Amino acid sequence: MKNEEFRKYGHEFIDWVADYLENLGSRRVVPDVKPGAVRSALPASPPLKPEPMEALFNDFKDIILPGITHWQHPGWYAYFPANSSPASLLGEILTAALGAQCMSWQTSPAATELEDLVMDWLRQMLGLPSGMSGVIQDTASTATLCALLSARERATDFESNESGLRRPLTVYISSETHSSIEKGVKIAGYGRASLRRIESDAAYAMIPEKLEAAILEDKARGFQPACVVATLGTTSSTAIDPLRPIGEIAARHGAWLHVDAAYAGTAAVCPENRAMLDGAEFMDSFVFNPHKWMLTNFDCSAYFVKDAGALIRTFEIHPEYLKTKADPYVKNYRDWGIQLGRRFRALKLWFVIRSHGVEGLQAFVREHLRLARMVKGYVEADKRFELMAPVPFGLVCFRLNDGRGEDALNDLNKRFLERINASGKLFMTHTALRGKYTLRMVIGARTTTEAHVRAAWEIIRSVAGLVLKL
Amino acid sequence: MKNEEFRKYGHEFIDWVADYLENLGSRRVVPDVKPGAVRSALPASPPLKPEPMEALFNDFKDIILPGITHWQHPGWYAYFPANSSPASLLGEILTAALGAQCMSWQTSPAATELEDLVMDWLRQMLGLPSGMSGVIQDTASTATLCALLSARERATDFESNESGLRRPLTVYISSETHSSIEKGVKIAGYGRASLRRIESDAAYAMIPEKLEAAILEDKARGFQPACVVATLGTTSSTAIDPLRPIGEIAARHGAWLHVDAAYAGTAAVCPENRAMLDGAEFMDSFVFNPHKWMLTNFDCSAYFVKDAGALIRTFEIHPEYLKTKADPYVKNYRDWGIQLGRRFRALKLWFVIRSHGVEGLQAFVREHLRLARMVKGYVEADKRFELMAPVPFGLVCFRLNDGRGEDALNDLNKRFLERINASGKLFMTHTALRGKYTLRMVIGARTTTEAHVRAAWEIIRSVAGLVLKL
């Protein structure tokens, strides 16, 4: 494709994107599409000859788009948000155009230095301890794996990298911790049997006394506690594990403390939400995702460590073909994670922070928290509903409860959620809280306003009436 | 930022990108910038108030851009290429705009189905065995880690995920294999001591007889061979490990055969380059990077497996909050790799393949191979130079050799490379081949033409004259 053709379609695509964002609310959130429908509408083999961009763009609009789940929709209340924003989109265009591969300082000095800078901006914005160093990872899954590997190496004096994991290490999470930690425990060679699930309290937060009891029991049996994972804002219900007592216990027993704030970390841009960070000085590592609630296009996960040396020593490798003259004087982020190759992700984050300012991001978070409290009020005011967990952030957990048995309630609420989502006007997902099927409504999409939330609640109320009558 | 402001700057950015691509050749490839210069030109703390996009764009042009290494430059002969292309860029814009998170079929049906489809297109285009299934990973580092983990699990009947790695497994690579395999061996908990580096021949290819001897010796000592990694196109010299004999040995001893064709895999779009794939039926997994030589923006790594079930069983995890009604009928790619969250990467790949057609991609590869052979001819024709390795693809390995001692030659060639790169007109990197400092010139950037290569060679020749006189 010639540059002039790129220019022509580039402009066309920008207009399409602006229109898409403008009118997104009129689309179904989740498409009404059967498995296999998209694939079977496309040729089974690649074309031999070049095809014009016009044909591609049409197929995108006619075949792909009707099969897309619209994560940027104002009716997005599912999972957690994965917000993009106009500023981030503009940054992504430049990142894609430069096509720089940012494994080493030399392979793009400005990318490394901007990453270094914006990660320190984020540290300041969240009130994380000074001295913590940051690196951008793709996802919290990867950042958590980095933490589990650093913990493994520190616990074994960096011998596992050399000889494999020979000592019986243990890792502690709560019953509510995200599945990526179990996945990481398997990948890093601890084995799932090394994982201890600590009981959580009525608010779904880890009980520190239970943690210490488990550690003491393990130590008595010859296990070595390598890592404790505390979550600020669990996936099921945004529960907040108490950081200070957990940190004190981890420190007392020499375990690495990793803090998973993938979703809720963004809330700490507002000083009034920083109580959860009391005890932050105990953290060995901390992750939150600007690609969730901080308007930065997926993927962009912010990982902070107290001891960058331990992280680097876990991953570094120095083949001749990667050595550069600048190595002694610079950060080479390839040694700060799993992947060698790295996108220039700092650019979109820099665009987002500067374009909104810290106060803009604070206002964004505060409005979502206000709307979530409003929905909590709706739930509490309607006797057909039951609030299932505290609402410290943007997530409201609730279900219908008319007093029938638990199994029947689970069936009822499953049907309830399916009916709501079938409307196409909004999209929520579910979880199980102590075995109870629970609807999750997360207020967190960039474009969601009070009017959207009110309209969504009207649909929820009316579907509730329907399914309770069936 | 309002949509109309996005539209305005979107158009401005598109014009800037088109101009950037048009005039890229007039910039220095590698910037002349000191460590710390970019960071110190920017405020140490984030702004409280929003800043206008005009200010950001100006800072991007004035501060960031002068510190960027231009990977898309026609003078790019370093590492391997990380080619973008106009078609891929257009795809990236739509991917960023949708902001879809493609962990499950339900979270974007069209993304999953398009990935399924284009991966099968790639399989057909490279002539990989039918029955292999594909998934897009971010980088070959990650894909290789997936292979090492699947190998670990298969070798231990999926017991390592449960109990940690307790058996003494071994992994076989050549002396020339990429550093990411050693990194993966550490991450997956094998330990570096499990790694066997098999001797390579005069052309830097693994010697199958040495591989079998090492396996037999290990088995006699109670080790279990878990994985053999063969490389098609090594990083240092693009050597080709002989696939069929290595595959037969791996199969005979029950080891997983992973094939790393990160760079050279793209060459297989041309049937005349498929001799290296003889023995492909033995492959358990295969990776190549469309983001290197197939015009698809970084990151996009294509990973193929013979037994998708083994991959899924290695990674799958089923928390309640990720369950969907469609699960029994669809692919959920979150269970095909490390990360839970996934970008919609299939879109740019689909744009690239359709926009160029298979024949366009073949012509692209053939031209680079022709130019590499031309440079090989230049090296062989000039007695001051020594060709250091065969040239099966786009990489020419060479050095100056005036007969002085090896240490002095290493010093000389290091100075030689530094002088060439200091010109700013081209960028090459180095490696060591049997301890000899070697210049690597990779012909593979999208915009590199015969005229660029001739001009680059003129600079190389003239710098050679200079440094030989010093």
Nearest-Cα residue of chain B relative to residue A176? B319
Is A285 a domain residue? yes
Cβ neighbours of B221 (radius 10 Å): 9
Cα–Cα dist A174/B433, whole Å: 51
Nearest residue of B to residue A430, measured between CA atoms: B321
Q: Show residues of chain A in contact with B134, CB under 8 Å.
A: none
Dihedral of the alpha carbons of A115, A120, A122, A128, in degrees to the nearest 10: 140
pLDDT at A470: 79
Q: What is the CATH number of the domain that holds B255?
A: 3.40.640.10
Point out the residue among B48, B138, B358 whose CB comes nearest to the CB of A48: B358
Domain shared by A116 and A191, yes or no: yes
Pairing label, strands A224-231, A169-174: parallel
Place of tokens 């005229």: B451
Please check the confidence at residue B164 and state whether its pLDDT lies above 90: yes
Task: State the residue range of the domain holding A393.
Answer: 1-30+69-84+358-470
pLDDT at A124 over 90: yes
Q: pTM of the predicted model, to two decimals?
A: 0.97
* B356 inside domain: no
At B421, the pLDDT band (50, 70, 90 cuts) reads: very high
- Dihedral sign, CA of B281, B282, B285, B289? negative
- Could you tell me if residue A327 is inside a domain? yes
Pair A251, A377 in one domain = no
pLDDT on residue A416: 98
User: Is the same domain home to A315 and A434?
Assistant: no
Structure confidence at residue A457 as a pLDDT band (50, 70, 90) = very high
Across the range A190-196, mean pLDDT stands at 97
Same-domain check for residues A297 and A393: no
Contacts of A317 in chain B (CB under 8 A): 179, 182-183
Please indicate, yes or no, if residue B83 is contained in any of the structural domains.
no
Q: Tell me which of A343, A370, A387 is where a domain ends.
A: A343
Percent of chain A with pLDDT over 90: 98
CB neighbours of B385 closer than 8 A, spacing ≥ 6?
A: B378, B379, B398, B399, B400, B401, B464
Nearest Cβ partner for A359 among B49, B87, B190: B49
Asked if A381 and A146 touch (Cβ cutoff 8 Å), the reply is: no
Query: Which chain A residues in 23-62 lie under 8 Å from chain B, judged by CB atoms?
Result: 30-31, 33, 35-39, 42, 44-51, 53, 55-56, 60
A94 touches chain B (CB under 8 A): yes
Contact A29, A426 (CB under 8 A): yes
Q: How many CB atoms lie within 10 A of CB B29?
A: 24
Mean pLDDT in chain B? 97
Same domain, A220 and A310: yes
Residue A2: its pLDDT value, please? 81
CB < 8 Å from A in window 274-313 of B:
291, 297-299
**Do residue A131 and residue A239 come from a single domain?**
yes
CA distance linking residue A30 with residue A69, whole number of Å: 5
The confidence score (pLDDT) of residue B3 equals: 85
Q: Is the pLDDT of residue A1 over 80?
A: no
> Can you tell me the mean pLDDT for B310-335?
94
Tokens read off for A17: 């994107």
| pLDDT above 90 for A3 | no
How many structural domains does chain A have?
2
Distance from CA of A6 to the nearest CA of B (A): 6
- Is the Cβ–Cβ distance between B286 and B264 less than 8 Å? no
Contact of A231 with chain B, judged by CB distance below 8 Å, is answered with: no
What is the reported pLDDT for B343? 97
The count of CB pairs under 8 A between chains A and B is 465
> Looking at this predicted complex, what is its ipTM?
0.97
What is the DSSP code string of B451-470? Answer: HHHHHHHHHHHHHHHHHHH-
CA distance, residue A69 to nearest chain B CA (Å): 5
| pLDDT for B166 | 87
Does A282 lie in the same domain as A212? Answer: yes
Closest CA to A78 of A20, A29, A32: A29
What DSSP letter does each residue of B61-106 carry, written as one string? IIIIGGG---TT-TTB-SSS-----HHHHHHHHHHHHH----SSST
The secondary structure of residue A77, as a DSSP letter, is -
End of a domain among A343, A377, A405? A343
Is residue B2's pLDDT more than 90? no
Does residue B42 form part of some domain? no
CB contact under 8 A, A69 and B319: no
B273-299 average pLDDT score: 98
A256 plus A283 within the same structural domain: yes
Tell me whether residue B55 is in a domain. no
The mean per-residue pLDDT over the stretch A69-85 comes to 97
pLDDT the model gives residue B445: 97
Do A366 and A317 belong together in one domain? Answer: no
A396 in the same domain as A339:
no
CA nearest neighbour of B141 among B313, B303, B308: B303
Per-residue pLDDT tens over the stretch A391-447? 999 999 999 999 999 999 999 999 999 999 999 999 999 999 999 999 999 999 999
- What is the tens place of the pLDDT at every residue in A335-386? 999 999 999 999 999 999 999 999 999 999 999 999 999 999 999 999 999 9
Q: Which residues contact A67 (CB under 8 A, 6 or more apart)?
A: A31, A33, A37, A38, B108, B109, B110, B113
Amino acid symbol at B300: C
Q: Is the pLDDT of residue B1 over 80?
A: no
Check CB contact of A340 with chain B, cutoff 8 Å. yes
Tell me: do A391 and A336 sit in the same domain: no
Q: Which residues of A touch B429 (CB under 8 A)?
A: 321
Q: Please report which confidence band the pLDDT of residue A31 belongs to, taking 50, 70 and 90 as the band edges.
A: very high
* pLDDT (tens digit per residue) in B13-71: 999 999 999 999 999 999 999 999 999 999 999 999 999 999 999 999 999 999 999 99
pLDDT at A357: 98
Q: What are phi and psi of A329, to 5 degrees?
A: -110, -5
Band (pLDDT 50/70/90 cuts) for residue B470 is confident
Average pLDDT, chain A: 97
Quick: pLDDT tens for A133-172.
999 999 999 999 999 999 999 999 999 999 999 889 999 9
Report the gap between the CA of B403 and the closest CA in chain A (Å).
23
Supply the pLDDT for residue A97.
97
Chain B residue with the nearest C-alpha to that of A39: B113
Kindly report the CATH number assigned to the domain that includes residue A1: 3.90.1150.170
Alpha helices in A231-335 (DSSP H): 243-252, 290-293, 308-315
Please indicate whether, in this complex, the C-beta atoms of A36 and B113 are within 8 angstroms of each other.
Answer: yes
Domain end point (choices A285, A309, A343)? A343
Asked whether residue B435 is assigned to any structural domain, the reply reads no
- Confidence label for B398 from pLDDT (cuts 50, 70 and 90): very high
Task: Tell me how close the Cα of B243 comes to any Cα of chain A, in angstroms.
Answer: 24
| pLDDT 10s digits, B71-121 | 999 999 999 999 999 999 999 999 999 999 999 999 999 999 999 999 999
Interchain proximity A39–B93, CB inside 8 Å: no
Verify that A106 and A78 share a domain, yes or no.
Answer: no
Q: Is the dihedral of CA A330, A336, A340, A343 positive or negative?
A: negative
Please report where in the chains the tokens 């984050």 appear, as a residue. Answer: A349
Q: What is the DSSP letter of A28?
A: -
What is the predicted pLDDT for the residue at A166?
A: 87
CB contact under 8 A, A353 and B46: yes
β-strands A256-260, A224-231 pairing: parallel
Residue A439 lies in a domain: yes
